[in-house]
A and B are shown apart, each in its own frame.
Chain A
Amino acid sequence: MKAIHRTLVASAIAFGMAPSVQAQELIVGFTRDADTLDPANHRNRETETIIRNIYDGVLTRSSDMQIHPEVAESFTQVSATVYDFTIRPGITFHDGSALTVEDVKFTLDRVVLEGGMGGGQSSPRASLMGPVESIEILDESTLRITLSEPWPLLPAMLPHQQIVSQAHVEAIGADGMATQAMGAGPFRLAEWRRGDSVILERFDAYYGGATGIPEAGPACVERVIFQVIPESASRVAALLSGDVHLINELPPHSMNQVNNSPNAQVMTVNGTRSFFLALNNEGEIFNDVRVRQAVAHAIDRDLIIDRILSGTATPIDGILSPDAFGKNHDLPAYDYNPERARALLAEAGYPDGITVTLDTEGALRDTAEAIASLLTNAGITTRVQVGESTLLTQKWRTQGGPKEGDIYLTSWGNSTLDPFDIFVPTHRTNDRGNAAGYSNPELDALLDEAAVELDRARRGEMYQQAEAMVNADLPYVYLWVPQDIYGVSTRLSNWSPSPDSRINLHRACLD
Chain B
Amino acid sequence: MSILEPTAPVEAESLFRRNMAAFMENRLAFGSAIVVVLFVLMAVFAPWIAPNDPYATNLFFRLQPPVWMEGGDWAYPLGADSLGRCILSRIIYGARISIFIGAAVIIVATSIGILAGLAAGYLRGWVDVVISRLVDILLGFPYLIFAIGLMAMMGPGLGNIILALAYKEWVIPCRVVRGETLATRELEYVEAARALGASGRHIMLREILPNILSPVIVVATIRMAHVIILEASLSFLGLGVQPPTASWGAMVADGRAFILVSWWVSTFPGLAILLLVLAINVASQGLRDAFDPRFTE
Contact = CB atoms under 8 A, between A and B. Distances in A.
Contact of B59 (A233, A237, A303): A303
Interface in A352-390: 362, 365-366, 369-370, 372-373, 384-386, 388
Contacts of B57: 369-370, 372-373
Interface residues of B, number: 22
Nearest to A255: B261
B244 A369 contact: yes
A233 B257 contact: yes
B256 A385 contact: no
A370 B256 CA distance: 19
A303 B59 CA distance: 8
Interface extent on A, as a size class? 20 to 34
Given A362-B238, A369-B83, A386-B242, A253 B258 contact: yes
Given A362-B238, A385-B242, A386-B243, A304 B59 contact: yes
B238 A370 contact: no
Interface in B50-79: 56-60, 62-63
B258 A233 contact: yes
Interface string B198-238: 00000000000000000000000000000000000000001
A254 B261 contact: yes
Interface in A244-294: 251, 253-254, 256-257
A32 B256 CA distance: 17
A372 B17 CA distance: 54
B284 to A, nearest CB: 28
A384 B57 CA distance: 12
A366 B256 contact: no
A303 B57 CA distance: 13
A485 interface: no
Given A366-B82, A385-B242, A307 B260 contact: no
Contacts of A449: none
A463 B126 CA distance: 75
B256 A365 contact: no
B159 to A, nearest CB: 16
Given A369-B83, A384-B244, A385-B242, A307 B258 contact: no
B259 interface: yes
Contacts of A233: 256-260
A365 B60 CA distance: 17
A113 interface: no
Nearest to B262: A253
Contacts of B59: 303-304, 307-308, 370
Given A308-B82, A370-B83, A373-B56, A365 B260 contact: no
B62 A307 contact: yes
Given A253-B258, A253-B262, A369-B57, 6 more contacts: A233-B258, A233-B260, A257-B260, A303-B59, A308-B62, A308-B82
Interface of A: 231-233, 236-237, 251, 253-254, 256-257, 303-304, 307-308, 362, 365-366, 369-370, 372-373, 384-386, 388
21 contacts: A232-B257, A233-B258, A233-B259, A236-B260, A253-B82, A253-B258, A256-B261, A257-B260, A257-B261, A307-B59, A307-B84, A308-B62, A365-B243, A365-B244, A369-B83, A369-B244, A370-B59, A373-B56, A384-B243, A384-B244, A385-B242
